[in-house]
Structure 1
């Protein structure tokens, strides 16, 4: 009987050991499965976060591109407006010169319109040099145009074209983004040639430069001067419109 009992005991122990082995394997599988589910959940969460961030970046990039397009459009419209205004003044300058008498300077003429007693120069030569400088300005060669206009006013200070040349010298400086020099040049027009048709436009140019230099007081004073000294002129009308916008 003793051997039988021993055999039964061994069989029972073997069965318990087998059950324990099966239990351990099942638990391990369950833990692996749980870990896999948690890992996938974290991965899904991270993926959604990355997708949302990518979408935000894309939307921001699109908004930046839209704003950049608006800025470029505004810059183009501004440059186009400046070009139209420049072409207008160039055309007006050419038309007015054709109507002016081809004589020497008018700086010495008296209020009654008496002829200048100073010897006259060569109007044809003056006109050619002035036209050459103006053509350089039209071609956007502002540095060369400025030098040519500066030479002209020094060479022909009493020419009837001197006020025009001085005015375009100021515009050449402005086109080179040098408002200080532009104001200096236009101030000569407003003082030395105060009775010339270019004087009110020179005041407007000065006001524009003062505004860009951050001088609102000077800008307002210049615009008011145009209205006071040159009423009923296109420049005065422009000055009034600019004052209304302030």
Structure 2
């Protein structure tokens, strides 16, 4: 029994005792009243205990819901990062496939089998692009078509900065790496500090990486890290540096960089890829 209830019981007994002294009730009546009071008090305390238990249960449920929401938000963020990286990789592969198709178009019948394989790969990429919402017909700011191929409507509402960036990115997708580098460098001269500048610098590194020029790619990725330290392309740039060193056979440097990514950017898709690559390098 709680201290408050004990005080209430004592008060009631005192009142009942006073009533008995004043001759308002018999001893039998007083005992009956006291018994009723005790029964009611016990029932009330049981209800209070039940309410306390319910309150604790509700608080526990609230904590569980809050933890679930936090976990869901974290998973959504991770999924978003994974999708972003997948989109970038698919776009790079699309550029390679498009370039291969152009090379094969002049190869004659001897390359028919290879052309069929490239077409099948292209179809799979198209399916993934449609699934992720990055198909050519809806590539957003990174899929602005070349000026010679649009009708003016596709660039409506876009800034000169976005048009120039999109044109360079379209060239990269076509597999014209040297030309795309020149266009991205021109973009950076005009717009060295915009929300697209770190992306442009990153794609310059990617163009070298795609050509197998890993030393030059490492240097270009380093420019992303040094010039745009707050940008979202820093973790991917570290990752690609590590992969480039691995391609060059320098596994020691590759491991050091990949381990640093995991330490400094533990919750990114780049860190997850770094863990996988580290296991492969062992």
Partner of 2:21: none
Of structures 1 and 2, the one scoring higher in RCO (CA 8 A, sep 6+) is: 2
1:54-96 per-residue CA deviation (whole Å, 9 max, x = no partner) reads xxxxxxxxxxxxxxxxxxx9xx89xx6xx96xx989x59x979
In 1, Cα distance between equivalents of 2:254 and 2:140: 28
1:125 aligns with 2:160: yes
Structure 1 equivalent of residue 226 of structure 2: 191
Residue aligning to 2:256:
221
Pick the structure with greater CA Rg.
1
Partner of 2:239: 204
Shift of the 227–97 alpha-carbon distance from structure 1 to 2, 3 Å rule, reads: farther
Map of 2:213 onto structure 1 = 178
In the alignment, the residues of structure 1 paired with residue 202 and residue 213 of structure 2 have an alpha-carbon distance, to the nearest angstrom, of 15
Classify the secondary structure of the residue corresponding to 2:159. helix
Q: CA RMSD in A?
A: 3.3
Does residue 1:140 correspond to 2:175, yes or no? yes
Of 148-157 and 126-135, the range deviating more from structure 2: 148-157
Report how far residue 202 of structure 1 moved: 0.9
TM value normalised by structure 2: 0.45
Runs (4+) of structure 1 exceeding 4 A deviation are 94-98
Checking the alignment, whether the CA contact within 8 Å between 2:141 and 2:166 is kept in structure 1 is: no
Q: Secondary structure in 1 aligned to 2:168?
A: helix
Change (3 A) 1:203 1:96: farther
Q: 1:188 & 1:143 partners in 2: Cα distance?
A: 18
8 Å contact kept, 1:143–1:176? no
2:201 paired residue number: 166
How many residue pairs get matched? Answer: 142
Deviation sequence 1:127-184 (CA, Å, 0-9, x none)? 0000000000111111111111122122211121100000000001112221111111
Which residue in the other structure is 2:280 paired with? 245
Q: Shift of the alpha carbon at 1:209? A: 1.0
Alpha-carbon distance between aligned partners in 1 of 2:139 and 2:238, rounded to the nearest angstrom: 21
Query: In 1, distance between residues paired with 2:196 and 2:207?
Result: 16
Q: How far did 1:199 drift?
A: 0.9
- How far residue 192 of structure 1 moved from its aligned partner, in angstroms, is 1.8
Structure 1 residue 231: deviation in Å? Answer: 1.3
Question: What SS class does the counterpart of residue 266 from structure 2 fall into?
Answer: coil
The separation in 2 between residues aligned to 1:95 and 1:128, in whole angstroms, is 13
CA contact (8 A) 2:191 2:197 kept: yes
Gaps of 5+ in 1: 1-72, 99-122
